[in-house]
Amino acid sequence: MTGCLIIHGYTGSPYEVGPLADYLREHTDWHVDVPTLPGHGSELALENVTHKNWLTAAEDALKQLKEKADTVYLIGFSMGGMIAAYLASKHNIDKLVLLAPSGKYLSFRQMAKDFKGVVADGLKGKIGQNNLYLHYKRKWGTVPFKANIEFLKLVRFTRQYLNKVTSPVLIAHGQQDMMVPYKTGYYLDKAITSEQKEVVFFEQSRHLICLGDDNATLNKMVYEFLTT
């Protein structure tokens, strides 16, 4: 059996990677698992959760999948990308896909550009139609400062394992990403020591790359990478 574990991002949920997970389920007979990390999901509860809890939960899910599957693929989005890379450095993974991995973070130039778009829609009375605003609205005021520190700890911790990754890897990033600079793709390309590496940039995509305008192309690209 072939198994595929997909790990969502910080303050996110399986919804962020839903279109990709659905595509893989529709086009394969794989077991596709998308666990919810501790404190995450539709209702955030991050006050007493640490980065070690996230790493442990993801690793437990991987171990359970490896017990059932002969071939294992690992996909991670944003913070989940860094978790996926860390797990690939420790476990035998057949192929690895990193989507907007947060090896670096905060693209202030793109954040300013997107913020102007939110303000403009607000002035036009169209704020309810702005997808960026709607996605992040529920998170404002619900993410404790301590959780952000844990996120930074996770990125710092997992970076040191990048040079131990040997699995074939595909890195995909949106050029309009406001959270993680797209040049992070170049950084990871250098840091990861796998012999087979591919880095792809999507011109129309922001951080939520699986939900963006390029997601149909992304889904097909990930599928082809994993099946060839």
Q: CA neighbours within 13 Å on the CB side: how many for 50?
A: 4
pLDDT value of residue 110: 43
> How does DSSP classify residue 200?
E
**DSSP one-letter string for 93-112:** -SEEEEES-TTS---HHHHH
pLDDT value of residue 120: 55
Q: For residues 69 and 33, what is the distance between their CA atoms, to the nearest angstrom?
A: 12
pLDDT value of residue 181: 87
pLDDT value of residue 112: 46
What is the percentage of the chain residues whose pLDDT exceeds 70?
83
Strand partners, 71: 2
Label the pairing between strands 2-7 and 31-33: parallel
Contact 89, 165 (CB under 8 A): yes
pLDDT value of residue 145: 79
Residue that wins the pLDDT comparison between 143 and 1: 1
Residue range 114-172, pLDDT digits in tens: 445 544 555 566 655 555 555 555 555 568 878 888 998 999 999 999 999 999 999 99
Cβ atoms < 10 Å from Cβ of 111: 13
Find tokens 């889904």 and name the residue.
Answer: 219
Residue 33 has pLDDT above 70, yes or no: yes
Residue 82 has pLDDT above 80, yes or no: yes
Strand partners, 170: 97, 198
How many domains does the chain fold into? 1
| Residue 169 phi, psi (nearest 5) | -135, 140
Sheet with strand 197-202: strands edge to edge: 31-33, 2-7, 71-77, 95-99, 169-174, 197-202
Angle between helix axes 79-90 and 51-68 (nearest 10 degrees) is: 60
What is the total residue count of the chain? 228
Separation of first and last alpha carbons in the chain: 16
Residue 123's CATH number: 3.40.50.1820
Strands (E), 27-132: 31-33, 71-77, 95-99
pLDDT value of residue 146: 87
Residue 216 has pLDDT above 90, yes or no: yes
pLDDT value of residue 111: 43
pTM metric for this prediction? 0.86
Residue range 94-116, pLDDT digits in tens: 999 999 999 976 544 444 454 45
Q: What is the mean pLDDT of residues 204-220?
A: 94
pLDDT value of residue 125: 66
Domain holding 48, by residue range, is: 2-227
Instruction: For the chain, give the mean pLDDT.
Output: 88
Residue range 164-200, pLDDT digits in tens: 999 999 999 999 988 898 889 999 999 999 999 999 9
